[in-house]
Amino acid sequence: MEVNADDFFKAANLDKPRVPNKVGSNVTLINVMQIAGLNTLGISIARIDYAPLGQNPPHTHPRATEILTVLEGTLYVGFVTSNQPAPNRNKFLSKVLNKGDVFVFPVGLIHFQFNPNPHQPAVAIAALSSQNPGAITIANAVFGSDPAISDDVLAKAFQVEKNTIDYLQAQFWENNHY
């Protein structure tokens, strides 16, 4: 197979705003699936657009550390450490970022970004340390899996009534399955 410049190029229009989804964000990921030349290089990039009060909900990248740079607006960001021994067990670390600020989310840790401004959108660029970082949105995975995780299991894990779990699963099932 002959390599050419197009294996390392994509007219991605990352300078153009994107329409946010139901939670008020839009992630445009450029990884090895869009640029074949990224294969084995261990990098990818994403543009994230946030509507006013929009969020990129709690999620994790199982194969990548993320470094986020705010291009426009303000973001409230944070992550939770792992179940390591005290005193840092499940410690929540957060910061308010402004234009030009940078924040790192270590590989595999649950993290989020939220635009606290009710009037202005925000934009960020994220670099990831994998050509295929993966993304697991926590609520979608837990409450919208197919087939559904037993409500008995989730009720015990979250220490709530089964009808609460049923309600949450219904929200995600209706939106994620056709």
pLDDT in tens, 62-85: 999 999 999 999 999 999 999 877
Query: How far apart, in whole angstroms, are the C-alpha atoms of residue 165 and residue 171?
Result: 10
Residues 159 and 127 in one domain: no
Instruction: Annotate 44-88 with three-state secondary structure.
Output: EEEEEEECCCCEEEEEECCCCCEEEEEEECEEEEEEECCCCCCCC
Residues 88 and 170 in one domain: no
Residues 35 and 79 in one domain: yes
Does residue 1 register a pLDDT over 60? yes
Residue 66 marked ligand-binding: yes
How many domains does the chain divide into? Answer: 2
Does residue 178 register a pLDDT over 50? no
pTM: 0.91
- Domain at 9, CATH number: 2.60.120.10
Residue 59 marked ligand-binding: yes
Residues 33 and 114 in one domain: yes
Residues 115 and 154 in one domain: no
Query: In this structure, which amino acid lies at residue 21?
Result: N
- Quote the mean pLDDT of the chain: 93
Residue 119 marked ligand-binding: no
Q: What pLDDT does residue 174 have? A: 64
**Residue 169, domain extent:** 139-177
